Amino acid sequence: MSSLIITLPSTLPSAAAPCSAVLTDDGRTVKLHWELPLALLPAAQDSETIAVVPLEQLSWHRLELPPGTLSRGFLRDGNATRLRRVLDGLLEERLLDETAQLHFALEPQARAGQPVWVAVCDHIWLGAWLAQLEQAGRVVTRIVPEFSPAVEDTPGGSVLHLLGSPEQGQLVWIGAHGLCMLPWCADAVALMAPAPSEPAGLEIVAEPGMADVAGKHFKAPVRLQTAPQRAVAAAQSAWDLAQFDFLRTRSARGRKRLSALGDSLLHAPRWRAARWAALALVVVNLVGLKIWASKEQNALAAKQERVRTLLTSTFPDVRVILDAPLQMQRALAELQRQSGSVANGDFEMLLGLLQTTAPELQLSGASTIDFVAGELRLGGLPQASAALASISATLQPQGYGVRLEGDSLVLKPQTRKP
């Protein structure tokens, strides 16, 4: 996804305040750059918006936090309130403004038992710009600093940035021990120059207007970087200043961004091809399901027709077919009775099955014996309840159903469906 990176002006929001905005597609290169008031910036559809806080709006402080302060989820609910109070107490004597008027943000991946960097900026200024961006339809997903101190375990040495022009230039030194900004002058150059013992310990990064000056004063290769490129590099930082009071705002911005993305997917012209492709995929699946269901219905109808044909060819006397398997079973049983063979539902067959399966029942001791329509009922068998489970497990796979009705044991053939 592309990113729209907006560097916030140092002044409070106004209709005429120009904003530096950069559009990047890959997060590394500048595609477009504008210097326009917020209301005049072109709409960048389907792009996340990242706000960059300029260097002069931030101060940086290294703190030793009390044990247990950075507990799990320390920026949530009550932990965030407790941590904010701890920061207020630690920074109160270091800051000129009241801590209630300031916004604090801890370094990413802050770890307990180690010093952490805390970024401080004006709460009213940052909140005003976020509100202005919201009104302009710019859903901010992250807030990052233009420059930030290097973490101690970050590979590489110090970096010196030369900004502006020789007439109004600035020096920004970044290292593991902090961050320092000085106006461009000879004394500042002497202060920032690397020690002779470590000639390669300082990386020089200069804007095009300061490239010649950097080449004259520093005996090290100079890497050129424009202001838009610097904004893109800042957006790659792991920092996110949306903490404490702005943490809920960040969640709300995330939900709004998802809502805007969904609306864009449904209505934006650039997603028209994707919408048609999704619709075509749904239609193809529905057509495929209908064809598959039709084939299954045809196969079932053909199977039923084969069963009916087998019934009429085997038993020509059957004229009306209602339930072919049941009618075939009854016709076969009738044919067995007419030929003198024992059928599955005959009295002798059922009684013999019970005697073979559960000889402990002592069928001769039954008080009542009823046989009606292929169903055998034996009453007065005291062992029937105990033997029911074993009888059912043996006879049910053979096609016979066994159950207890009162004190009677009922056995009958089951009708099998194809």
Please state the pTM of the whole predicted model: 0.60
Number of helices (H) and strands (E) in the chain: give both, helices first: 10, 17
**Highest averaged pLDDT of the listed ranges 218-227, 250-259, 320-329:** 218-227
pLDDT for res 198 = 44
pLDDT for res 197 = 42
pLDDT for res 412 = 81
Going by pLDDT thresholds of 50, 70 and 90, the confidence category of residue 178 is confident
**Highest averaged pLDDT of the listed ranges 111-115, 211-215, 367-371:** 211-215
pLDDT for res 192 = 65
Mean pLDDT over residues 210-227, rounded?
Answer: 88
pLDDT for res 10 = 93
pLDDT, the chain, mean: 82
pLDDT for res 79 = 75
- Rounded to the nearest 5°, which phi and psi values hold at 402? -125, 135
Note whether 410 and 374 are within 8 A (CB).
no
Which segment of 114-128, 184-198, 287-301 scores lowest on mean pLDDT?
Answer: 184-198
More confident residue, 179 or 385: 179
Which segment of 8-22, 78-92, 93-107, 225-239 scores lowest on mean pLDDT?
Answer: 78-92
Q: Is the pLDDT of residue 343 over 60?
A: no
pLDDT for res 260 = 57
Mean pLDDT over residues 332-345, rounded?
Answer: 65
Report the DSSP pairing between strands 368-372 and 102-106: unpaired
What whole-number distance in Å separates Cα of residue 152 and Cα of residue 174? 12
Side-chain half-sphere exposure of 305, counting CA atoms within 13 A: 6
pLDDT for res 105 = 93
Mean pLDDT over residues 185-199, rounded?
Answer: 61
pLDDT for res 345 = 65
Query: Looking up tokens 């994707």, which residue turns up?
Result: 274
Query: Looking up tokens 């610097």, which residue turns up?
Result: 230
**Highest averaged pLDDT of the listed ranges 143-157, 284-298, 309-323:** 284-298
Which segment of 94-103, 132-141, 361-370, 397-406 scores lowest on mean pLDDT?
Answer: 361-370
Mean pLDDT over residues 311-319, rounded?
Answer: 78
Report the DSSP pairing between strands 169-175 and 178-183: antiparallel
SS (H, E, C) 341-381: CCCCCCHHHHHHHHHHHCHHHCHHHCCEEEEECCEEEEECC
Q: Is the pLDDT of residue 156 over 80?
A: no
Which of 77, 232, 252, 52 has its CA nearest to residue 145? 52
More confident residue, 154 or 231: 231
Q: Which residues contact 144 (CB under 8 A, 6 or more apart)?
A: 50, 51, 52, 53, 234, 235, 237, 239, 240, 241
Which segment of 89-103, 220-234, 265-279 scores lowest on mean pLDDT?
Answer: 265-279
Q: Is the pLDDT of residue 413 over 90?
A: no
Q: Is the pLDDT of residue 349 over 90?
A: no
Going by pLDDT thresholds of 50, 70 and 90, the confidence category of residue 153 is low
